[in-house]
Structure 1
Amino acid sequence: MLQGTQNFMLYGFIMFVAGLGIPIMAALNGGLSNKLQNTALAAVILLFVGFCIALTYLFTTSGLPKTLYATGTPWYFYFGGCFVMFYILTISCVAPKFGIANAIAFVLLGQLIAMVVIDHFGFFGVKQYALDYKRLTGLTLMIAGIVLVLSKPQQS
């Protein structure tokens, strides 16, 4: 097996596991939000736990950072947390009312559209991949899959 193929498989598996965690996190934090009757507090708790884990990872893998800002870094690179916070607040509030499958499916739809636009134009300095016929076909099939997953069985 080629080194590139091994990395692809490893990275694919890691991201698959991360993907498994998204609906679990949505269900857990949505449940916490309902129990506490406070979406913002549930989000703060989730982020605090995540912050503690991230700090532990930072200090055990690379030690104390030398700087928080690298020269030439675009200012907007520091605002990814805004999207994380928006996701956490909305999934915690909406998913318990809308259903985990519905909420995650629409999140996935947004991710699919954003990923092809970001890749096609090379936004944020990522490697550019044109939206060709094959990628558009794959995107269409994935969207069709979301529609099929969301279709509810007939009640008898």
Structure 2
Amino acid sequence: MTSLIFVMAGLLSGAIFAAQGAINGRLAAFAGGPLVAALISFSVGWLSLAALILLSRPQAPNSSVIATAPPWVYLGGLIGATGVALAALSVPRIGIATWVGALIAGQLMASIWLDHLGAFGQEVREITPGRIAGMICLALGVWLIRRY
């Protein structure tokens, strides 16, 4: 049952991210470009998280433990900002379905390789013919969405 909840959370996140690309693309038209749209988007997100933290009052993080984290763990914000800016730039030009299809295909290609390497401390999951077939089908799906 727990796995099903996480799959449903992934589906919900996917639906929300599809809308996010279109919303930020529209924001870029009003804000003067995709970088400003990404900045506004992340500012709203930052304020929302700050409000949730103030309301939930979690235990304060231990700064000495945080200081021991490897530098690469902070790349998530940079990756997120890049993705939001690229969505704001691309969605108005190629459409939501093509963008999301390409986004998912790119995520799947990278994730298959990262799983194979056991990257970032994850469990190693070998590349299999089934995973490669799934990746090819998804890439074909992106092509079909864009073409038709």
- Alignment TM class, shorter chain as reference: 0.7 to 0.9
**Cα distance change on mapping 1:61 and 1:116 into 2, 3 Å:** farther
Q: Which residue of 1 aligns with 2:122?
A: 126
Q: How does 1:1-156 map to 2 (within 5 A)?
A: 6-59=1-54, 60=56, 62-67=58-63, 69-70=65-66, 72-152=68-148
Contact 2:98 2:142 (C-alpha < 8 Å) held by counterparts? no
**Matched-pair identity in %:** 22
Q: Write the distance in 1 (CA, Å) between the matches of 2:83 and 2:64.
A: 24
Q: TM-score, normalised by structure 1?
A: 0.84
Q: Write the distance in 1 (CA, Å) between the matches of 2:123 and 2:14.
A: 22
For structure 1, list consecutive stretches of 5 or more residues without a partner in the other structure. 1-5
Deviation digits for residues 93-144 of structure 1, max 9, x if unmatched?
2221222222222222211111101101111111111011222222222222
For structure 2, list consecutive stretches of 5 or more residues without a partner in the other structure. none
Contact 2:102 2:139 (C-alpha < 8 Å) held by counterparts? no
Contact 2:105 2:135 (C-alpha < 8 Å) held by counterparts? no
Q: Write the distance in 2 (CA, Å) between the matches of 1:56 and 1:68.
A: 25
Greater share of helix:
2
Q: Write the distance in 2 (CA, Å) between the matches of 1:116 and 1:81.
A: 22
Aligned length: 147
Range moving further from structure 2, 90-99 or 76-85: 90-99
**Cα distance change on mapping 1:94 and 1:142 into 2, 3 Å:** closer
Q: TM-score, normalised by structure 2?
A: 0.88
Q: Which residue of 2 aligns with 1:3?
A: none
